Amino acid sequence: MIVAIDQNICTGCRECAEVCPAYAIVGEQGKPQTIDTDRCVMCGQCVQKCKSYVSVLTHGKDAYERVKKERNIPDSVQEPLFAAHAVCHLNEVKAALADKNRFTIVQCAPAVRVAIAEEFGAELGTLTPGKLSAALHALGFDRVYDTNFPADVTIMEEGTELVKRVTEGGVLPMFTSCCPAWVKFLEDNYPELKDHLSSAKSPQQIGGAIFKTYGAQLEGREGKDIYSVSVMPCTCKEFESERPEMKDSGFRDVDAAITTRDLAWLIKDMGIDWEALDEQEFDQPLGLYTGAGTIFGVTGGVMEAAIRTGYELVTGQPIPDLEVTAVRGTEGFRTSVIKVGDLDLKVGVVTGLKNVVPVLEAVKNGTLDLHFIEVMTCPEGCVSGGGQPKLLMDTDREEAYAARRAATFAHDRELAYRKSHENPAIKKIYEEFLEEPNSHIAHHLLHTTYCNK
Amino acid sequence: MKKEIGSFVVGDSTKCTGCKACELACFTVHNRKSNHLGKTVGTVTVPVTPRLFLTKFEQGCMPIQCKHCEDAPCLNACTKGAISRIDHQVIVDAEKCIGCKDCMQACPFGAIALLPYARDGRLVGQAMSSEPKVFASKCDLCEGIEGGPACVRVCPHQALRLVDPEAEREEKNIRAAEALLLTKNWR
């Protein structure tokens, strides 16, 4: 159980059922709710929405400490706890950090750096990659890498796959596969469309597979010695990391996926003073990333990153306008046509999983003429993920999402490299290890298959 | 026109789902400065102390909060001078409150709860014991807080509203007069 509702705390308001994209929350109005785990995609939007907190008045003086213990939340945590919650794995991560025989590698997703500072009182959407890296170093991780690097790998793999499908007549439209809640939703509800999913793994899993192979080689170690942690804006990433097929490195590729909120707890628990941290770079080479990698955090970002590279793959020329504003926006489903040489590349972007159902129906009926569709479960992509800092007041939601989006695009603009294929560390890993996109070894490590339920 | 009687917030049990967004917002806006709350849950280091109370009853649920009574029993009962009337509102000075419960006893609506008192992000201890100091937590209509009552602003179903009783009475008078106009042929 990754996302759960505490029966003793839930008031039965069903506000969570309103935001659940999978209709997985069941119960009578006014009575404690339960989650239908077969339907649940673990996106954590219910966790974000729930305001029914453990209260001295309603639940008694000892309830807070008891609930904290039940959920394995660090003792040092003092913030309110709510009925809808996500599982906490910090004990395992703390044990691995304390074990001198484990070589610990951490990666963090693009959306974490535009939100985690909020948990330390900063303005909504404050951009802090340097402090994030410094905090992870201070926690004692042996290597502080970044999910933006494997996001760049994703673009190489998925972009190449798309070009092949378009030019050689593969299954179209191709769907993105970065969002594990979306992948589960498709597997559960539209298994007949699974060949439309890109076979490329998500950046988290590509990172995990690379760290225990190439990453281990860089350290002169073996994959078995490495404990790999990911920090994600997402509650479903833990589910993804637990999928039985996600062990192509020969080991479980990602050992623990924690959320942005979990990391803030861990930083406080270890007594690290966030304000006093001096900015630090991510470690090299697997922490070197491009603007294309960082915009994965917002809706339309994977599409834009793919177009920045795909254009050059197809035409051999750099894209005239790097910022593909046509695919930006926050509408639930938007389409555009991108001129790629002689090809009119027809793309769609879905954000908010409820909006994908008509799209899937149209694909099934053959009435949707698109090449490539990005799908993200959360309202505005990962910046609004279920594992992100939770707002005390929903009236701040619009501002929070807008500020996190703006910070993501600002970060893209300030980076030295803004196209995945121009990342020197990407060039290096393909030269030294992966050979070329969609090579045999890339297929083995970085691609996956999907299951019929 | 100068307001002669005080306003209050009232809930509507036909709209309320019991989500407690009002309680959390109430706590948030009252602790921004005194307990350094930011906009996210992670910035909270003290227990949630709302000033209105979601109440479940057989037919439904709704938040209950202070009516800001004119002849306020809580104010009359307080022997420490911790409750006063400021600009028509009945306001508790938490620093002066000793937690004697007289106001709780006096309030006919249960609109006051004794809750842990915190300053600067930590609980304040009692003078002679390690137990936390408590204070009479009740609605102050978000006195001095920009935007007015936070509970009204955050309710996802508009189940709370700020009542100006005199203005509403006048409005009802007008509606009554308009209705009577329709009956003008009746003698």
* Angstrom distance (rounded) from CA B112 to CA B101: 9
Q: What are the strands, taking DSSP E only, across B52-116?
A: 53-57, 60-64, 83-86, 89-92, 113-116
How large a percentage of chain B has pLDDT more than 90? Answer: 88
* Active-site entry in A119, A157, A161, A380: A161
Based on the residue annotation, tell me whether A245 is a catalytic residue of this protein: yes
B25, B37, B42 member nearest A389 (Cβ): B42
Residue B61 has pLDDT above 60, yes or no: yes
At A174, which amino acid appears?
A: M
- pLDDT score of B1: 45
Our answer to whether residue A435 is catalytic in this structure is no
ipTM of the complex model: 0.94
Active-site residue A161, yes or no?
yes
Tell me the two tokens of residue A37.
């785990």
Q: What is the pLDDT of residue B185?
A: 64
* Nearest Cα to Cα of residue A149 among A428, A405, A450: A428
Lowest mean pLDDT across A141-150, A212-221, B79-88, B176-185: B176-185
Q: Which residue of B has its CA nearest to A47?
A: B41
CB of A11 within 8 Å of a chain B CB? The answer is yes
pTM: 0.96
Cβ–Cβ pairs < 8 A, chains A and B: 106
pLDDT band at B2 (very low <50, low <70, confident <90, very high): low
Q: Residue B182: pLDDT above 90?
A: no
Contact with chain B for residue A84, Cβ under 8 A: no
pLDDT for B181: 86
What would the pLDDT profile of A285-322 be if each residue is shown by its tens digit? 999 999 999 999 999 999 999 999 999 989 999 999 99
Q: What is the mean pLDDT of residues B16-34?
A: 98
Identify the helix (H) or strand (E) that includes residue A135. Answer: helix A129-138
Partners of residue A68 in chain B, C-beta under 8 Å = none
Q: What is the pLDDT of residues B149-171, one digit of tens each?
A: 999 999 999 999 999 999 999 99
Q: With an 8 Å Cβ cutoff, is A393 touching chain B?
A: yes
* B70, B77 Cβ separation under 8 angstroms: no
Task: Pick the residue of A6, A10, A25, A51 with the most B CBs within 10 A to test the interface with B by mutation.
Answer: A51
Beta carbons within 8 Å of A412's beta carbon, 6+ residues apart: A291, A292, A294, A295, A418
CB contact under 8 A, A78 and B37: no
In the predicted model, residues of chain A with pLDDT beneath 50 are: none
CA gap A143, A282 in Å, rounded: 8
pLDDT of amino acid A431: 97
Instruction: Given CATH 3.30.70.20, say whether it is the number of domain B8-181.
Output: yes
Is-contact A421 A436, C-beta < 8 A? no
Where do the DSSP E strands lie in chain B?
8-11, 53-57, 60-64, 83-86, 89-92, 113-116, 118-119, 122-123, 134-137, 160-163
Say which residue the tokens 């189940």 belong to: B159
Q: Which of A123, A245, A279, A436 is catalytic?
A: A245
Where do runs of H (alpha helix) occur along A385-447?
A: 397-414, 424-429, 440-446
Residue closest to A242 by CA, chosen among A293, A288, A205, A201:
A205
Instruction: Please tell me if residue A62 touches chain B, with a CB cutoff of 8 Å.
Output: no
Q: Considering chain B, what percentage of its residues have pLDDT values greater than 70?
A: 97
| Domain boundaries defined on chain B | 8-181
* Helix (H) or strand (E) run with residue A57 in it: helix A56-59
The average pLDDT across B123-127 equals 93
Is residue A179 among the annotated active site residues? no
Domains observed in chain A: 1-87 (3.30.70.20), 143-446 (3.40.950.10)
Query: Which pLDDT does position A287 carry in this prediction?
Result: 96
Residue B56 has pLDDT above 50, yes or no: yes
Mean pLDDT for chain B overall: 95
Instruction: Show the CA angle centred on residue A249, arms to residues A244 and A253, nearest 5°.
Output: 55
Per-residue confidence (pLDDT) for residue A453, from 0 to 100: 61
The predicted pLDDT at position B184 comes to: 73
Inter-chain touch B25–A393, beta carbons under 8 Å = yes
How far is the CA of B149 from the CAs of B16, B28, B54, B143, in angstroms?
Answer: 17, 12, 16, 8
Task: Return the residue in B13, B16, B36, B39 with the most chain A beta carbons within 10 A, the one to mutate for interface testing.
Answer: B39
